[in-house]
Structure formats: C-alpha cells, structure tokens
C-alpha cells in the first residue's frame, strides 16, 4: 500500500456490509453511484464508483465539487496518479482507504489461468479479476483478457449524453483543457464490442461456479492497466442492498441472521450489553469483560474453524491464553446468560 500523494492517511473504518447471499436479476436496474462504495474487495477494502465527486460548472468554466453533476469527472483520469500499485487505491481525507480500479495484488498476471474472485458487488454477484474463459460456457476453453464493451465516444462537443439525450446546459468542448476521457459521460457502451454487457459482467462458468453465475470482471487494457468502467458499469445487474450504498455505510444486522463460513453455522444477535475485548492486538493473553455472565466463548479463524473453545466458563471477566495462535485476525463468539451473542474481531501479533 502507498505511497499516498493525496491528503489523507488510512485509518480503521469498522465497516459493516450486507451482501445478498442469493442475488437476483433486477427488474429495474439501480444506478451505480459515482462516489462512495459500490462493493467490497475480499480483504475488506471498499470499492468506490468511478467518479471523483466533482463535475463541470459552466459558471466557473471548471470542474468543481459543486458542479452541476451532468459531466462528472472520471476518478482514474483525475486521481490515477495518486492511486497505489497494491489495489489502485488511496485514502480520502477522513482516512477511508478505497479502490477505484485494478486491485493488482488480488489476482495474477497469468493469462493462462482464470482470475480469482477479487470482491463482491453490493447486489451479491462476484467480481473477478480480468482473465476468464474465452468461451464462458466451457471451462476447458483457453483463458483470455475479458474485455469491457465501453469505448470513448467520437465527439468534439459535449451537447449530448451517452444515451442520446441533450445535455442542458452543454459541457465544455473537447480541448486540451477538457480532453476526451476527462468525464464519465465521454464513454459509451457498445453492445458486442467486447465480452461484457452494459453492467460490465456476463453469465458463464467459473472455477467457483461450475454450473454458471453472473459475474463482473475487472476491466483492463491490453497493457494490464485500468480500463473504463474499471469494476462495474453504470447500473447494477442485480438488486443491491440499499443500506450498503449509503455514504455512511450504516447497516442494521437483523436479529437471528445466519452467518455461514465453510462448515460453521452460527446464529448471531447484537448483544445489548457492552463487552470489552482487550488488548487488541494481543500477543499472549486476551481479556474479556462483560456486564452479563459469559456462558460460552469460542475463537474462530478466518476460515470459520474453531481454534479455541472455552466451554461454559460462567463469568463476567475472562482471560484466555492465545500464545498458541499464529499471527493474524481471529473472531470471538461470546454467548451470555440472556441468550444474546456477539462476534468480535481481534488481532494476534506476537
């Protein structure tokens, strides 16, 4: 990660996302936001839309955060030089580290292998790296770069939008000051131009879904660099969780929600009583303080396997020895005597 050339340093954000487990095809497509989160990478880094939160203002004859929102500046064009070579990401001023384009460290440049899942869109469909099967229905077909079907428009004036409607007022003429590619609206979808549809995805078989799934693909050019629309097109293929699209990412976890991780199935409820876990990170002992009696405590690794199990300790305050755990992220599942349960993450760092 880094170096970061824009103002800001990555800080902990404590996001909670809610992603549909059984996604469905949208009857009415939802617009993909130009700014804020549209999905998450598998490592928790949010994926932001392809805008930089500024647009053309005809009164200023310049791009401005208070612009009209008709000709919206493309984030890769304006901020690409500030994005790192880890995930094409950077932090904004509040410390939210986020990706705008190619998450390089999450997939290989090996064009002979299908790319892995690098993230999930908020409609529940997977996002793969840029390489997939040349025949989407044949897992034995050669792999290749899966191409976006978006291209730069052939325009010199900005009087019409990509859908053919009039721009009122018009944007700036194409020039050295306002070159083609500066705005998201400088691009258009051309059916059949590439391998992907207007959402930047397709239906096909993948290593994780041998029977087929709809999936998005990271868009790159023939050099491996970012290509429009980067992650998703202008609309979601499925119905996204609206709470996850909120700029504040305020998601309410329903009581009794089921959390599945490999063979582990745990019913989770947000506990009403405060439970403190410290220190975090920890090296030898982890301390747990609760206002209600703890009747069961388990430690899971990130694969969902139980690595420590304290059976019915029945206490308000506990400490557990974690010296045997390898460095990494783990989850505590704590049950109290009022039948509430909560999961809390902690880091082991010897």
- In percent, the amount of the chain with pLDDT more than 90 equals 52
Q: Does pLDDT of 271 surpass 60?
A: no
pLDDT score, position 117: 94
- Which has the closest alpha carbon to 184: 90, 98, 75? 75
pLDDT score, position 267: 35
Express each pLDDT in 162-192 by its tens digit.
999 999 999 999 999 999 999 999 999 999 9
Contact 276, 319 (CB under 8 A): no
How many Å apart are CA 320 and CA 333, to the nearest integer? 13
Q: What pTM, to 2 d.p., does this model score?
A: 0.72
Residues in the chain, overall count: 350
> Which neighbouring-strand residues pair with 277?
288
DSSP letter for 338, please.
T
Average pLDDT, the chain: 85
How many Å apart are CA 300 and CA 345, to the nearest integer? 9
Contact 171, 71 (CB under 8 A): yes
Q: Does pLDDT of 103 surpass 50?
A: yes
Q: Does pLDDT of 313 surpass 70?
A: no
Residue 109 contacts by C-beta under 8 Å, 6 or more apart in sequence?
224
Contact 141, 134 (CB under 8 A): yes
How many Å apart are CA 142 and CA 318, to the nearest integer? 55
Q: Domains for the chain: give ranges and CATH numbers.
A: 1-252 (no CATH), 257-348 (2.60.40.3080)
pLDDT score, position 73: 95
DSSP letter for 32, please.
P
pLDDT score, position 243: 74
Greater pLDDT, 19 or 294:
19
pLDDT score, position 264: 34
pLDDT score, position 272: 45
213-217 and 126-128: which strand pairing? parallel
DSSP letter for 75, please.
H
Q: Does pLDDT of 6 surpass 70?
A: yes
- In percent, the amount of the chain with pLDDT more than 70 equals 88
Express each pLDDT in 226-268 by its tens digit.
999 999 999 999 999 877 776 555 555 555 555 544 433 333 3
Q: Does pLDDT of 28 surpass 50?
A: yes
How many Å apart are CA 311 and CA 315, to the nearest integer? 11
Q: Which of 102-116, 120-134, 231-245, 283-297 has the highest mean pLDDT?
A: 120-134
Q: Does pLDDT of 298 surpass 90?
A: no
Q: Which of 46-55, 252-261, 278-287 has the highest mean pLDDT?
A: 46-55
Question: In this structure, is the dihedral angle defined by the CA atoms of residues 225, 126, 136 and 31, taken in order, positive or negative?
Answer: negative
How many Å apart are CA 276 and CA 312, to the nearest integer? 19
How many Å apart are CA 240 and CA 223, to the nearest integer? 32
pLDDT score, position 263: 35
Per the rule left: phi > 0, alpha: psi between -120 and 50, beta: everything else, 31 is beta
How many Å apart are CA 180 and CA 172, to the nearest integer? 10
DSSP letter for 64, please.
E
How distant, in Å, are the alpha carbons of 18, 265, 300 from that of 257? 11, 10, 18
Per the rule left: phi > 0, alpha: psi between -120 and 50, beta: everything else, 137 is alpha
How many Å apart are CA 82 and CA 5, to the nearest integer? 5
């Amino acid at each position: 990660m880094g170096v970061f050339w824009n103002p800001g340093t990555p800080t902990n954000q404590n996001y909670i996302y809610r992603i549909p487990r059984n996604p469905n095809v949208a009857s009415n497509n939802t617009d993909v936001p130009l700014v804020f989160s549209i999905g998450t990478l598998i490592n928790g880094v949010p994926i932001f839309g392809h805008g930089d939160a500024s647009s053309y203002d005809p009164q200023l004859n310049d791009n401005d955060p208070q612009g009209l929102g008709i000709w919206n500046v493309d984030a890769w064009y304006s901020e690409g030089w500030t994005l790192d070579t880890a995930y094409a990401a950077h932090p904004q001023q509040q410390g939210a580290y986020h990706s705008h384009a190619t998450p390089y460290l999450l997939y290989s440049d090996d064009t002979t292998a299908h790319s892995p899942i690098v993230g999930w869109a908020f409609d529940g469909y997977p996002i793969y790296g840029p390489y997939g099967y040349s025949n989407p229905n044949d897992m034995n077909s050669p792999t290749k770069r899966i191409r976006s079907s978006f291209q730069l428009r052939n325009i010199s004036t900005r009087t019409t939008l990509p859908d053919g409607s009039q721009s009122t007022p018009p944007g700036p003429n194409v020039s050295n000051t306002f070159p083609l590619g500066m705005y998201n609206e400088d691009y258009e979808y051309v059916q059949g131009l590439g391998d992907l549809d207007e959402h930047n995805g397709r239906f096909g078989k993948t290593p994780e879904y041998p029977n087929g799934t709809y999936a998005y693909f990271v868009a790159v050019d023939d050099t491996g660099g970012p290509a429009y629309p980067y992650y998703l097109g202008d609309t979601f293929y499925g119905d996204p969780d609206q709470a996850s699209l909120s700029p504040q990412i305020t998601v309410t976890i329903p009581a009794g929600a089921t959390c599945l991780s490999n063979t582990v199935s745990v019913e989770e409820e947000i506990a009403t009583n405060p439970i403190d876990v410290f220190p975090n990170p920890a090296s030898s002992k982890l301390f747990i303080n609760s206002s209600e009696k703890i009747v069961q405590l388990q430690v899971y690794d990130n694969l969902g396997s139980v690595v420590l199990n304290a059976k019915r300790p029945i206490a308000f305050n506990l400490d557990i020895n974690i010296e045997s755990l390898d460095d990494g992220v783990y989850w505590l599942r704590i049950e109290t005597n009022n039948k509430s349960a909560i999961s809390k993450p902690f880091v082991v760092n010897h």
